[in-house]
Structure 1
Amino acid sequence: MTGLAEFRPVMLVTGVLVATLGAAMLLPALVDLAADNDDWMIFASSAMVTMLFGLGLFIANRGAPKGLSTRQAMLMTVISWVALVAFGALPLHWSGIVPSYTDAFFESMSGLTTTGATVITGLDTAPPGLLFWRGLLQWLGGLGIIVMAIAVLPMLQIGGMQLFKAEAFDTAEKILPRATQISMSITLVFIAMTGICAIAYMVAGMSADDAVIHAMTTVATGGFSTKDGSIGHFNSSAVEWIAIVFMVLGAIPFLLYVQMLQGRFRPILADDQVKAFMGFLAVTILAGWMMAHFSENHLGMDGLRHAAFNVISITTGTGYASTDYGLWGPHAVAFFFIIMFVGGCAGSTSCGIKIFRFQVLVEAVRQHISQVMYPNGVFRAHFNGKPIEDRVVASVMSFFFLFTASFVILSILLKMSGLDTLTALSGAGTALSNVGPGLGEIIGPAGNFQSLTDTQKWLLAGGMLLGRLELFTVLVLFLPRFWRS
């Protein structure tokens, strides 16, 4: 297959996804209609435009060959995400809540990639449909990320994700007959978890609309809030503890929840990745608690709550803030900058480098040291009780190199665009790790991204896409070899 014929399956899938997004726009239209807000017309017209474009693409490419090659899968992933972001920005732009399409695109990209960086101020008085749309974007993005991590990325053998290929589809055969059923089971788990989280928030004192939107962005580890003060606005320890629980649940592989529903509890208890993630959180929360306490900002149990909330929020890439942790001292700034990159587990809604890659790296280093000490010995790196293939180690090493290179280049470009060093470094880190708030006065937990220039916003939006699609999927499109038959 060469030429345009090769693009047909890609356009077919993109058309279906765009039309689905258009249908989803009718939900915030109903929310505005129920609240007697005229913005429902903006969502209705955005939905019409989006659905017409999506259905047009679908009809034009009907009869395209089924199945995708590796090249088509990579193209489909990037093109569909960019198309969804571009159309997701329409209601934001047409509503006038942001001054330009650049701002709307940035907000939409931040939503669908579950980053949580925002350019909107005055959220407390924003129309209800618009707040619901931001939450829905993150919720759909979180669900899309899980499905992508289970079905697409392992097939493309990207960044060591092939570790989960056999596992995902062995599991599929043992538990459910087809991958589509796995996706359906995960969707149902995702919906149920969101519902339980919303009810918990309501019990803790949130209004129904705030509870539903925050539940969507908590489970998706996204971080968009309905308030300028984020979760800190509610000034409620109950709300923060609920958020802590569901941020952690959102950062654990959703396939494990499907197995639990089948009555198999051992996988979640025995999973190396989950154990390492929980261990990492325990150590970093303790460190954060010490900083909060000794800076005399939050003492005793109050300090533990704020440390647990903000450490989990940044590590999982949710990006909620309950307090300005930049005030906990210069060491706290460095601490939060480092944990920003870690991320949660593969196959969850979480972002960042991901725990399993650090585990593979440690195993590879341990194997190398053993080989140096005992040249005639035979040593194998293991993950989840299985030997790690050399090409998986190479793939993970390549990911670390590319992540570091992308971070350095993006930081330099942001610095050249006029940002100070801390803002440029943390901006690049927060975009690539899909975290949300950066550090410093401008984009820190107490600020937002509105005052940045259009160039800086486009650079950061590109960084968010790069980080969310695991680098390789996007960067490979820039290789001339990729486009040759």
Structure 2
Amino acid sequence: MSSSVRTVLFVLGILVASLSAAKLIPAFMDLNAGATESAAAFFWSAGFGVFFGLAVALAVRPDDRNLTTRSAFLVTAGSWVVMAFFAALPLRFGGHELGWTDSMFEVISGLTTTGATVVSGLDGRPPGFLMWRAILQWIGGIGIIVTAMAIWPLLGVGGMQLFKLESSDNSSEKVLPRAAEIAAAVSLIYLSLTAACAMAYGVTGMGAFDAIAHAMTTVATAGFSTRDASMGAFTEGGSDYVAMVFMLLASLPFVAYLMLVRGHPSAFWRDPQVRGFFTVIAAAIAAMSAFVIAADLYAPGAGIRTAAFNTISVITGTGYATADFGIWGAPATAGFFVLMFAGGCAGSTTCSVKIFRYQIALLAMRQHIVSLAHPRAITPLRYGGRPVSPELVYSVLGFLFAFIAVFTVSAAVLAAIGLDTTTALSGAASTLANVGPGLGEIIGPAGTYQPLPDAAKWVMSANMLIGRLEVLTVLILFTPRFWQS
């Protein structure tokens, strides 16, 4: 067995053991609440996962922990799939009336911070079950930040090399040490934001359990709630205002938080993607607010509040809802469908296409138009004061093409399975963009994905993984050349 394969298995083993150890938290919560069947499933699956993960890690422990480019791709894609299986065990065998398809769908939605759910009756579910869903999203959030900051820039995935840290090595051989260093730095910021969010929720009147669970899923821009009414169950105390603030904070690049800690407070506003993100947010809120007020759906104050919350939730891919915006009419439905493809900043917990890729694509288009009008003009492409190479532009355009292709194919497959047009299109979009709720009566903000056929759920589960892993990270595994020495 080669050193790189041993390293891949070692990392996967450690991740499985760590994830399984986290099951002890919901296990004791359910035991205390008298949900013995659920608690037992958490306990035995925790023991099994810890034993299996450590056994694999110890059996293949490599002499060095370097990764080739190929093995880095395998670790990135494989970790989400393997952890999803072990995370699903307590849902499948804990007396929650979830089959394998629904259990896997729910945990994949959690780990990818999508927020699409097949579970109803949340208000009566055991606390450990609800907390496990929040923990999965919280783990997925910090995992994607570290991956986006430490691994994808070195692998050149979808233009992420633009955000390569100055101290990063150009070789993927140092991926693991670099990832560990970044994880340690980011974890403190991530924990601080989560704690601040939980305390703010507590001030608005949320109980301790709800505040902690929602803080974890808010900072992860993930969207699982402890109530069927989602954040709509807590608007009376103003919790939706807290959610809006922290959804926006979690959508900003975490490298800028690191720079802020190091004494560079202007790092945020100097970043063109941050400026672009807030421009999109402001324009979308203004347009959606104007529509709901003009359509006489809400009074002005309530209209701005409701439109702002749900717009921010969709753009950031969080997936909370305070209203069933699927019944606001065709213009609102079309608007939210488009907003699913926005996303936040690179290096944040958000999902979808992300703002910087649109900015790069627009710069490239402008450069091309100028070159057509003035063939001899030299128009260097710069982004945030940094030169943009043709390779980076190709990487961004390649991502956009792949994203659109996966969306088109998955929507067509869902329609062929038997879903109506609205459900097929919005289901493909919301799962690939990791937004959560779709549009229409079935998977809209007031519904769940439970009524869908199992085949559709597996297609959407694949979409969630592909979208969360920046599309190309998964698609490259299906190319013959990737597996050639």
Q: Secondary structure at the match of 2:132?
A: helix
Q: Percent identity?
A: 49
Q: Quick one: distance in 2 between partners of 1:198 and 1:145?
A: 21
Give the C-alpha shift of residue 237 in structure 1.
5.9
Cα offset, 1:166, TM superposition: 4.0
Give, in whole Å, the separation in 2 of the partners of 1:354 and 1:475. Answer: 19
Report the alpha carbon displacement of residue 4 of structure 1 after superposing the two structures with TM: 5.8
Q: Which amino acid aligns with 1:450?
A: Q
**Deviation digits for residues 86-145 of structure 1, max 9, x if unmatched?**
111111111122430110000000000000000001100000000000000000000000
Structure 1 Cα separation of the partners of residues 365 and 166 of structure 2: 24
Q: Please give the alpha-carbon distance, in whole angstroms, between the structure 2 residues aligned to 1:422 and 1:237.
A: 34
- Secondary structure of the equivalent of 2:157? coil
Give the superposition deviation at 1:453.
1.1
Distance between the aligned counterparts of 1:301 and 1:167, measured in 2? 46
SS at match of 1:159: helix
Deviation per CA, 1:368-407: give whole Å up to 9, x if none: 1111122111101211111101000000000111001100
Amino acid aligned to 1:324? D
Give the match for residue 136 of structure 2: 137
Q: Which residue of 2 aligns with 1:146?
A: 145
2:33 to 18, 32, 35: 35
1:161 aligned residue: 160
Alignment of 1:4-403 (within 5 A): 6-38=4-36, 39-167=38-166, 169=168, 180-236=180-236, 238-403=238-403
CA positional deviation for 1:167: 4.3
1:182 deviates by: 2.8
CA contact (8 A) 1:291 1:328 kept: no
Code of the aligned partner of 2:469: L
Q: Contact 2:3 / 2:64 at 8 angstroms: preserved in 1?
A: no
Does the 8 Å contact 1:12/1:64 carry over to 2? no
Alpha-carbon distance, 1:324 to partner = 0.9
Q: Output the amino acid matched with 2:122.
A: L
Gaps of 5+ in 1: 171-176
**Deviation sequence 1:225-276 (CA, Å, 0-9, x none):** 0001111122326111100000000110111111111221021121111000
CA distance in 1, matches of 2:295, 2:227: 27
Distance 2:281 2:167 in 1: 26
| Mapping of residues 443-458 of structure 1, within 5 Å | 443-458=443-458
Q: Is the 8 A contact 1:150 1:168 kept in 2?
A: no
Contact 1:291 1:329 in 2 (8 A): no
1:430/1:436 contact within 8 Å kept: yes
User: Is the CA contact (8 Å cut-off) linking 2:110 and 2:136 kept in structure 1?
Assistant: yes
Rounded Cα–Cα distance in structure 2 between residues aligned with 1:195 and 1:6: 38
Shift of 1:32: 2.1
Amino acid at match of 2:117: T
**Letter of the structure 2 residue corresponding to residue 253 of structure 1:** P
For 2:174, the equivalent position in structure 1 comes to none
Q: How far apart are residue 155 of structure 1 and its match? A: 1.2
Answer whether contact 1:237 1:305 (CA < 8 A) is retained. no
Instruction: Give the residue type in structure 2 aligned to 1:407.
Output: F
Alignment partner, residue 405 of structure 2? 405
Q: Structure 1 residue 440: deviation in Å? A: 0.4
Residues 8 and 64, structure 1, Cα contact 8 Å, conserved in 2: no
Distance 1:364 1:248 in 2: 28
Identify the residue that residue 173 of structure 1 maps to in structure 2.
none
Unaligned 5+ segments in structure 2 are 170-176
Structure 1 residue 60: Cα displacement: 1.4
Asked if residue 483 in structure 1 is aligned to residue 483 in structure 2, the reply is: yes
Q: Does the 8 Å CA contact 1:9/1:68 hold for their aligned counterparts?
A: yes
RMSD: 1.4
Of 129-138 and 228-237, more deviation after overlay is shown by 228-237
Q: Aligned equivalents of 1:423 and 1:357: distance in 2? A: 27
CA distance, structure 1, for counterparts of residue 399 and residue 475 of structure 2: 11
Q: What's the offset of the Cα at 1:295?
A: 2.2
CA distance in 1, matches of 2:29, 2:200: 22
- For 1:108 and 1:387, the matched residues in 2 are separated by 40
Rate the CA distance shift 1:10–1:211 in 2: closer, same or farther, 3 A. Answer: same
CA distance in 2, matches of 1:449, 1:96: 20
Residues in 1 aligned to 2:165 and 2:379: alpha-carbon distance in whole angstroms: 23
Give the CA deviation at 1:52: 1.3
| Offset of residue 63 of structure 1 | 2.4
Query: 1:207–1:441: structure 2 CA closer, same or farther, 3 Å change rule?
Result: same
- Tell me which amino acid in the other structure corresponds to 1:264: H
Q: CA deviation at 1:9?
A: 1.2
Read off the aligned partner of 2:459 and give its amino acid letter.
L
How many residue pairs get aligned? The number is 477
TM-score, scaled relative to structure 1: 0.96
Q: Cα 1:70–1:420, aligned 2, differ >3 Å: closer, same or farther? A: same
| Aligned equivalents of 1:66, 1:210: Cα separation in 2 | 40
Q: What amino acid is the match of 1:157?
A: G
How far is 1:64 from its partner? 4.8
Report how far residue 78 of structure 1 moved.
1.1
Q: Which residue identity does 1:19 align to in structure 2? A: A
1:174 paired residue number: none
The one-letter code of the counterpart of 1:477 is L
What's the CA shift string for 1:382-434, capped at 9, x where partnerless? 11111101000000000111001100000000000010011000000001100
* Counterpart Cα distance in 2 of 1:182 and 1:99: 37
**CA–CA distance in 1 between the matches of 2:460 and 2:166?**
34
Q: Give per-residue Cα distances to partners, 1:314-347, cap 9 Å, x unaligned.
A: 0000000100112221011100000001100000
Tell me how far apart the structure 2 counterparts of residues 369 and 167 of structure 1 sit (CA, whole Å): 32
In 2, distance between residues paired with 1:392 and 1:165? Answer: 12
Matches of 1:289 and 1:237 in 2, distance apart? 22
Contact map agreement 2:10 2:62 (CA 8 A) in 1: no
* Counterparts in 2 of 1:442 and 1:30: CA distance versus 1, 3 Å: same
Give yes or no for the alignment of 1:431 onto 2:439.
no
Task: State the distance in 1 between where 2:454 and 2:63 align.
Answer: 38
- Whether contact under 8 Å (1:285, 1:307) holds in the other structure is yes
Q: Compared with structure 1, are the counterparts of its residues 99 and 32 closer, same or farther at alpha carbon in structure 2 (3 Å cutoff)? A: closer
Q: Would the aligned equivalents of 1:22 and 1:48 in 2 still touch at CA under 8 Å?
A: yes
Query: In the aligned structure 2, how far is the partner of 1:165 from the partner of 1:158?
Result: 11
